Chain A
Amino acid sequence: MVAAAGTDASSLRVHEVTKSFPVPEDSAARRLALDGVSLSMGAGELVSLVGPSGCGKSTLLRLIAGLDLPDSGELMVGAESITGPNAERGLVFQDPNLFPWLTVRRNIEAGLVARHVLSEKRHEVDEFMRLVGLESFPGAYPHHLSGGMAQRVALARALINHPKVLLLDEPLGALDAFTRMRMQDEVLRLWQARRTTMLLVTHDIDEAIYMSDRIVIMTQRPGRIERVIPVNLQRPRDRSSAEFLQLRSEILELLHFAGGAATESRT
């Protein structure tokens, strides 16, 4: 699997990545956010990152997106190493971050405009509006949208660039439980239709088990990968099946252990 990941154009490889940030109250000190993190993802794989808050999940995602650069280590998509942000790697945040001055349609078009390809690919806009079920709201402004609708626009806006890798930073974290479950199915549907490599950061263990092929569990300060757990359940998954619940309690136990370890190392 790892060997395949090395050759495929939309595989992702994170190798021994370390990242630290300056401490605001002490200019000389730096806080280690990620400590030698390695991770490989095959093309079309859906992997979840789970861990206590402050474990560097979002930092890792920003590094993969190219918004920050690592102190050391290497990040690669296919055979190319990541040196900066690029339309190949889409990013969706918890806050949809739609541009409030643009209508739904223009928000979805943003990536095409930014890459100066709007005139050739205009037909795709309608396709993506339909894909996320927003074809009847082209002229609405973001502040008219509900949280779920806004997040669907954000997904369409990221997907219209046909990214090789889609990074999702707690994209459903701000939604109510009901909308959230519907959106999980929606994201899965998009993933199955497009087979984009997806890396999902979440603090919801059920979500991680329900959606992903593998779950990466991270420890707190400095962020390290604690364990990688494959999820070998048949899709669509049943949230109340015995295997599901078994896996859930296993991960909970691990996370508890991870939290304890972090406390020990801090004191």
Chain B
Amino acid sequence: MLQKASGRSPEIVQSRTDATLGDVAAELETKRWRTWLPVPVANLICLAVHWLVSKTEPPVETRSYFVFLLNFLAISFLLAIAQLWLPALRRRMRHAGPIFAAALLTLCAWELITTGFRLLPLPYFPSPAGVFQSLINDRALLFDSTWHSLVLLLGGYALGVIAGLISGICIGWSTQVRYWGMPVLKIVGPIPATAWIPLAMVVSPSAIFSAAALIALAVWFPVTMLTASGISNTRASYLDVARTLGAGRSYLIFRVAIPAALPSIFIGLFMGLGASFLTLVVAETVGVKSGLGWYVSWAQGWAEYGKVFAALVIMAAFFSTIMTALFKVRDRVLVWQKGVIKW
């Protein structure tokens, strides 16, 4: 019985693997179009809709949007051809294809709603072509605004993070500092940083400086709170072990408590980053005479809503890039926690 089974099994296994491989191959064959087709098709739909619709809208120059779509189409065709030889690219495209196609179709729907059927009042809701045109026409000022926003944001954020880390570590480590510091934190911290704007404008010599200080304040609170709780929740046994290994106070703080608190600190950094975006835009809108927040209200003042939307598009790209960068840093630093590295 045993003999028989062992004699037959390789054959069975063999035929089964063949069958499975065949199935998988067939499946891949039928679904291969999914890898490359959605994006060009969506793109073609976009172009068709744009072509039909734009004839009805002479006043806005829409050539750049048309060129953009054509370029996109060309690139998607090139990628569709390239993926035949590049399996890594194919995998990426299979993953990203649907979402890009959906994005293009959203543009298309937007165009239909705005210039196509005129469902939305015009000066306030321009077509994607109009927004794209504003983006191109005003690129110099947009770039300048983005640059100013970046400098202000990073300056304020860095200041807030440094202050938050220092106060958080002190409050988390020393019971004495916690006794005096915690009430201040609990009372001052929850006030939205933007509520200080009237006061900041009176006190500070320059708008930029007060905006940076407000951003720092907005960042400081969550960073302090989560750093302090991370430090004070350090497992006592880690500290005990370190002490029996001969650790002094600086080792306990910098090489045990802070690394142990890092996951919590990063949550504070993310919360602070969100708060800093909000504070940046508000501060630029009401006080500082530069940056994306200023640009939006300035464009709105001239009723140039194409520029307003263009600035929103830039903001989305700008803020999500910074957020992504912080995620990357966290994955790097907390590699021990996630188990990304395998040996």
Instruction: Please give the residue numbers on chain A whose beta carbons come within 8 Å of chain B beta carbons, in ascending order.
Output: 62, 65-67, 84-87, 89-91, 93, 95, 97, 99-103, 110-111, 113-115, 137, 139-144, 157-158, 161
* Contact assessment for B256 and A91 in the assembled complex, using a CB-CB cutoff below 8 Å: no
* Contact assessment for B246 and A161 in the assembled complex, using a CB-CB cutoff below 8 Å: yes
* Contact assessment for A139 and B343 in the assembled complex, using a CB-CB cutoff below 8 Å: yes
Beyond contacts A66-B244, A103-B336: 13 other A-B pairs, Cβ-Cβ < 8 A, are A84-B243, A85-B244, A86-B246, A87-B244, A87-B245, A97-B237, A97-B241, A110-B242, A114-B245, A115-B246, A139-B341, A141-B336, A142-B336
Q: Which of B235, B240, B244, B259 has the most CB of A within 10 A?
A: B244
By a CB distance below 8 angstroms, the chain A residues around B337 are 100-101
Q: For chain B residues 288-343, which have a beta carbon within 8 Å of chain A?
A: 335-337, 339, 341-343
Q: Tell me, in angstroms, the Cα distance from A143 to B256 when the chains sit together.
A: 17
* Contact assessment for A90 and B339 in the assembled complex, using a CB-CB cutoff below 8 Å: no
Q: Which of B36-44, B192-200, B208-216, B247-255 is the interface stretch?
A: B247-255
Are A95 and B246 also in contact (CB < 8 A) when A113-B251, A113-B255 are? no
By a CB distance below 8 angstroms, the chain B residues around A143 are 336, 339
Which residue of chain A has the shortest Cβ distance to B246 in the bound complex? A87
Query: Residue-by-residue, is B222-251 near A (CB-CB < 8 Å gives 1, otherwise 0)?
Result: 000000000000010110111111111001
- 19 pairs from A and B in contact (CB 8 Å cutoff): A85-B240, A85-B243, A86-B244, A87-B245, A90-B244, A91-B244, A93-B241, A101-B262, A102-B336, A114-B245, A114-B247, A115-B245, A139-B341, A139-B343, A140-B343, A141-B336, A142-B336, A144-B342, A161-B245
Is the C-beta of B154 less than 8 angstroms from some C-beta in chain A? Answer: no
Contact of A99 among B240, B248, B259, B341 (CB under 8 A): B259
By a CB distance below 8 angstroms, the chain A residues around B238 are 97, 99
- Label chain B's interface by main secondary structure: helix
Q: Tell me, in angstroms, the Cα distance from A90 to B242 when the chains sit together.
A: 10
By a CB distance below 8 angstroms, the chain B residues around A137 are 343
Are A100 and B242 also in contact (CB < 8 A) when A114-B251, A137-B343, A139-B343 are? no
Contact of A114 among B240, B246, B259, B342 (CB under 8 A): B246
* Contact assessment for A141 and B341 in the assembled complex, using a CB-CB cutoff below 8 Å: yes
A109 to chain B, nearest CB (A): 10
Q: Tell me, in angstroms, the Cα distance from A137 to B256 when the chains sit together.
A: 22
Q: Tell me, in angstroms, the Cα distance from A141 to B337 when the chains sit together.
A: 9
By a CB distance below 8 angstroms, the chain A residues around B339 are 141, 143-144
B253 to chain A, nearest CB (A): 12
Number of interface residues of B (CB under 8 A): 25
By a CB distance below 8 angstroms, the chain B residues around A91 are 240-241, 244
Q: Tell me, in angstroms, the Cα distance from A161 to B246 when the chains sit together.
A: 9
Q: Tell me, in angstroms, the Cα distance from A213 to B262 when the chains sit together.
A: 44
Q: Tell me, in angstroms, the Cα distance from A67 to B245 when the chains sit together.
A: 12
Is the C-beta of B163 less than 8 angstroms from some C-beta in chain A? Answer: no
Q: Tell me, in angstroms, the Cα distance from A101 to B258 when the chains sit together.
A: 10
Q: Tell me, in angstroms, the Cα distance from A141 to B248 when the chains sit together.
A: 24
Is the C-beta of B79 less than 8 angstroms from some C-beta in chain A? Answer: no
* Contact assessment for B336 and A114 in the assembled complex, using a CB-CB cutoff below 8 Å: no
* Contact assessment for A89 and B244 in the assembled complex, using a CB-CB cutoff below 8 Å: yes
By a CB distance below 8 angstroms, the chain B residues around A141 are 335-336, 339, 341
* Contact assessment for A157 and B343 in the assembled complex, using a CB-CB cutoff below 8 Å: no
By a CB distance below 8 angstroms, the chain A residues around B247 are 114
B293 to chain A, nearest CB (A): 38
By a CB distance below 8 angstroms, the chain B residues around A142 are 336
* Contact assessment for A158 and B244 in the assembled complex, using a CB-CB cutoff below 8 Å: yes
Is the C-beta of B260 less than 8 angstroms from some C-beta in chain A? Answer: yes
Q: Tell me, in angstroms, the Cα distance from A158 to B241 when the chains sit together.
A: 9
Q: Tell me, in angstroms, the Cα distance from A67 to B343 when the chains sit together.
A: 36
By a CB distance below 8 angstroms, the chain A residues around B235 are 97
Contact of B243 among A67, A93, A139, A158 (CB under 8 A): A67
* Contact assessment for B241 and A114 in the assembled complex, using a CB-CB cutoff below 8 Å: no
Q: Tell me, in angstroms, the Cα distance from A86 to B243 when the chains sit together.
A: 7
Which residue of chain B has the shortest Cβ distance to A160 in the bound complex? B245
By a CB distance below 8 angstroms, the chain A residues around B245 are 87, 90, 110-111, 114-115, 157-158, 161
By a CB distance below 8 angstroms, the chain B residues around A67 are 240, 243-244
* Contact assessment for B237 and A114 in the assembled complex, using a CB-CB cutoff below 8 Å: no
By a CB distance below 8 angstroms, the chain A residues around B251 are 113-114
Q: Tell me, in angstroms, the Cα distance from A140 to B259 when the chains sit together.
A: 17
A105 to chain B, nearest CB (A): 12
Q: Tell me, in angstroms, the Cα distance from A114 to B245 when the chains sit together.
A: 7
Q: Which of A66, A97, A103 has the most CB of B within 10 A?
A: A97
Q: Which of A89, A140, A141 has the most CB of B within 10 A?
A: A141
Q: Tell me, in angstroms, the Cα distance from A97 to B236 when the chains sit together.
A: 10
Which residue of chain A has the shortest Cβ distance to B248 in the bound complex? A114
* Contact assessment for A101 and B244 in the assembled complex, using a CB-CB cutoff below 8 Å: no
A106 to chain B, nearest CB (A): 10
* Contact assessment for A111 and B343 in the assembled complex, using a CB-CB cutoff below 8 Å: no
Q: Which of B246, B335, B342 has the most CB of A within 10 A?
A: B246
Which residue of chain B has the shortest Cβ distance to A85 in the bound complex? B243
Which residue of chain A has the shortest Cβ distance to B258 in the bound complex? A101
By a CB distance below 8 angstroms, the chain A residues around B259 are 99, 101-102
Are A99 and B246 also in contact (CB < 8 A) when A113-B251, A114-B251 are? no
Contact of A100 among B240, B336, B342 (CB under 8 A): B336
